[in-house]
């Protein structure tokens, strides 16, 4: 039986249809460990939408969404095109099903493309034909790594790969990241989250790693954080109309940090 994959499981969390029986079985077990996991995924997705809208309103008209996963409601190009119909978007993922489904979604959408590539191989993603065709790396780019870096363990040094993306971009570019954490999270959610993270050892993505705020901030070294700085996904630029009482009462229940930064 095929092992669950992070991209397909995330799709299951969000109520999507692009997942297999193994992914749905994992989701059922995950809810036993972390009962509000579907909310955690939803808050991550809401952060992505807010981040893209913020970037687009600030003039960013080209985006690189790495680890984009399976298409669902409110994809990066859909949000960007609300502000600028001419915005260009390249998605990148190493999950074959995600790439095929994204290709199908984008076949009639101009100015968009998907690249099969691994975050840890920046040159392959940045040098891909679709990336070179759609993105002008001499002009600001909005890069998204939402719910991605926590799948890369410390020994694989995701910060080093991230620096290569950052170095390739000009001043004015933006970087949006969300990342799992238990930093400051109260019980029982803290223990539930750690049990949930541990369960990923039996998936195609066994390196799931929670990081603290200091580690998270290091991903943005040399860049300027936009207001409100580091927050939890449920509260980043939220007016509290798009989150439920559980998140509004304690944003740390989102168990994911979020931030957007600008290259000076």
CATH class for the domain made up of 6-262: alpha beta
Nearest-angstrom CA–CA distance, 138 and 127:
14
The domain segmentation of the chain, as residue ranges, is 6-262
Q: Which H or E run includes 261?
A: strand 256-262
Enter the pTM of the model: 0.94
Candidates 109, 115, 101; CA nearest to 16 is: 101
Q: How distant is the alpha carbon of residue 259 from its chain centre?
A: 11
Strands 88-93 and 112-116: parallel
Residue 250 is predicted with a pLDDT of 81
Candidates 127, 201, 141, 197; CA nearest to 174 is: 141
Residue 74 is predicted with a pLDDT of 84
Q: What is the pLDDT along the chain (264 residues), one digit of tens a residue?
A: 488 989 899 999 999 888 899 999 999 999 999 999 999 999 999 999 999 999 999 999 999 999 999 887 789 999 999 999 999 999 999 988 889 999 998 999 999 999 999 999 999 999 999 999 999 999 999 999 999 999 999 999 999 999 999 999 999 999 999 999 999 999 999 999 999 999 999 899 999 999 999 999 999 999 999 999 999 999 999 865 555 566 667 889 999 999 999 999
Residue 97 is predicted with a pLDDT of 86
Residue 135 is predicted with a pLDDT of 98
Residue 122 is predicted with a pLDDT of 98
Q: How is residue 137 annotated by DSSP?
A: T
**Helix then strand then coil, % of the chain, to nearest 5:** 45, 15, 40
Nearest-angstrom CA–CA distance, 53 and 170:
20
Residue 243 is predicted with a pLDDT of 55
Strands 174-180 and 256-262: antiparallel
Residue 239 is predicted with a pLDDT of 67
Alpha helices by DSSP H, listed for 169-257, are 189-198, 213-218, 245-249
113 SS3 class = strand
Residue 70 is predicted with a pLDDT of 86
HSE at residue 164, side-chain half, CA atoms within 13 A, is 13
Q: How is residue 80 annotated by DSSP?
A: H
Residue 50 is predicted with a pLDDT of 95
232 SS3 class = strand
User: What's the token pair of residue 13?
Assistant: 């969390």
185 SS3 class = coil
Residue 2 is predicted with a pLDDT of 81
């Amino acid at each position: 039986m095929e092992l669950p994959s992070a991209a397909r499981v995330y799709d299951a969390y969000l109520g999507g249809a692009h997942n297999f029986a193994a992914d749905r079985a994992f989701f059922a077990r995950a809810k036993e460990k972390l009962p509000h996991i579907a909310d955690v995924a939803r808050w991550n997705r809401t952060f992505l939408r807010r981040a893209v809208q913020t970037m687009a309103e600030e003039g960013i008209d080209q985006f690189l969404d790495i680890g984009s996963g399976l298409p669902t409601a409110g994809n990066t190009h859909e949000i960007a095109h609300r502000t600028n119909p001419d915005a260009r978007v390249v998605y990148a993922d190493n999950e074959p099903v995600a790439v095929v489904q994204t290709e199908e979604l984008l076949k009639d959408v101009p100015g968009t493309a998907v690249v099969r590539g691994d975050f840890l191989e920046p040159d392959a993603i940045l040098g891909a034909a679709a990336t070179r065709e759609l993105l002008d790396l001499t002009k600001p780019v909005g890069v998204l790594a939402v719910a991605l870096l926590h799948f890369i363990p410390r020994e694989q040094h995701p910060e080093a790969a991230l620096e290569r993306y950052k170095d390739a971009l000009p001043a004015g570019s933006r970087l949006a990241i969300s990342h799992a954490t238990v930093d400051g999270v109260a019980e029982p959610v803290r223990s539930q989250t750690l049990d949930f993270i541990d369960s990923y050892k039996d998936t195609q993505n066994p390196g799931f790693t929670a990081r603290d705020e200091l580690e998270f901030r290091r991903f943005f070294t040399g860049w300027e954080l936009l207001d409100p700085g580091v927050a939890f996904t449920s509260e980043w630029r939220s007016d509290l109309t798009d989150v439920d009482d559980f998140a509004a009462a304690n944003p740390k229940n989102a168990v994911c940090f979020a931030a957007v930064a600008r290259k000076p």
